[in-house]
Chain A
């Protein structure tokens, strides 16, 4: 059983990532590619807390993302919930001791979130498909690169179940 304190701590990190997204993410953009920090924190923490709590974290991340960008309210909101639930469901089915797991889960969660957002609001992808593909590809790559340090940071904060996670014991 994961203590509520850990979920609240993960929610605090999601909020912090949403705050930093507006200033820091733009400053660390590489050749126009910009990470989605709240999504990275969401997928990494959902991997540690499971599907149900991952959905809750996704709801919180979606609320923050939709509030800071209300023009695409529903699509952004729903995509974060599904991404959180998806990453959380992988937590119980994957061995998290492998260093490749957090980046791969973040990669899949980002692609899923972008796909859902595009399915609900397809205008940009339809009219600017090449730009959408490049932009999404860059974001997916950047998120994947950031996933491991974020995951390690969350583990250092004792988020997740240590007994299920051999990788966590080594920290």
Chain B
């Protein structure tokens, strides 16, 4: 056992040195990219195939009804889309007139979720895309519906680890869309067990159940206006100076099969670069 612990210590030192250089150590890289992720991707694909074939057979009667509802929704959204395109064109024209810079849209990279919460103690997931595909630590990850899902903790060439918003180590600036002139700003923190809450909201902020909460864009790590969730309950702290709102997450964290990574430039290596967040810690 002592020999195994000594080897463990050596590998941990090797890992820590690689982390300082902003890389993944070769042992972790090989084990994860060659030994785990391909097999997990295969299991995920088999699970999806099983769900599509056997699951859809069981759900047969409900499918026709769902199809009809979806057709109706497509028609509604098509009409809305036409309106939005008109508004977008007008917005672009007004921005040009006012001399505003166009917000550059970052390309999205589709990735398969190969492992969801591989360690029961932390809310993380593994993606089958890594640094070779343009994923870097601190890259922002979205759900297929466009809701903010989390942030990349580390990336090896063939895979990456993502810290979910629901982990206690996660925090992001949040803005409550309550349709007032001064929309309240707070901090969205994960509280574990698939839940999150917005804290540090002023006590006089007008909050309502069902208000949508989006990223504030403050801090520069996460882009603004990404959906986080809707308010499901509100509480005031003992001093009556701050409010806390519990959120119903916009992303379905329990059934993530795919995710999108916003591709960004790799962070500069070295001690001066801000380290990625750590899971299970309290955000400062």
Contact = CB atoms under 8 A, between A and B. Distances in A.
Are A and B interaction partners? yes
| Interface of A (DSSP majority class) | helix
Interface stretch (B5-13, B142-150, B209-217): B5-13
Given A68-B32, A124-B280, A36 B44 contact: no
Contacts of A77: 8, 11-12
Interface in B187-218: 191-194
B204 to A, nearest CB: 29
Contacts of A35: 120
A3 B202 CA distance: 67
B5 A64 contact: no
Contacts of B43: 19-20, 22-24
Interface string B109-150: 000001111111110101000000000000000000000000
Nearest to A71: B279
A90 to B, nearest CB: 14
A49 B101 CA distance: 67
B39 interface: yes
A56 B4 CA distance: 7
Interface residues of B, number: 50
B279 A72 contact: yes
Nearest to B24: A70
Given A59-B7, A77-B11, A81-B4, A65 B120 contact: no
Contact of B114 (A22, A67, A114): A22
A123 B5 CA distance: 22
A19 B28 CA distance: 15
A13 interface: no
A82 B8 CA distance: 11
A59 B10 CA distance: 13
Nearest to B193: A32
Contact of B1 (A25, A51, A71): A51
B47 interface: yes
Contact of B192 (A15, A78, A131): A131
B76 interface: no
Nearest to A74: B12
A67 to B, nearest CB: 4
A56 B7 CA distance: 11
15 contacts: A19-B36, A22-B116, A55-B4, A56-B4, A63-B27, A64-B35, A67-B28, A67-B36, A68-B32, A70-B24, A70-B161, A72-B279, A76-B119, A81-B8, A139-B121
Interface of A: 15, 18-27, 32, 34-36, 51-52, 55-56, 58-59, 62-74, 76-78, 81-82, 85, 114, 117, 121, 123-124, 127-128, 131, 135-136, 139
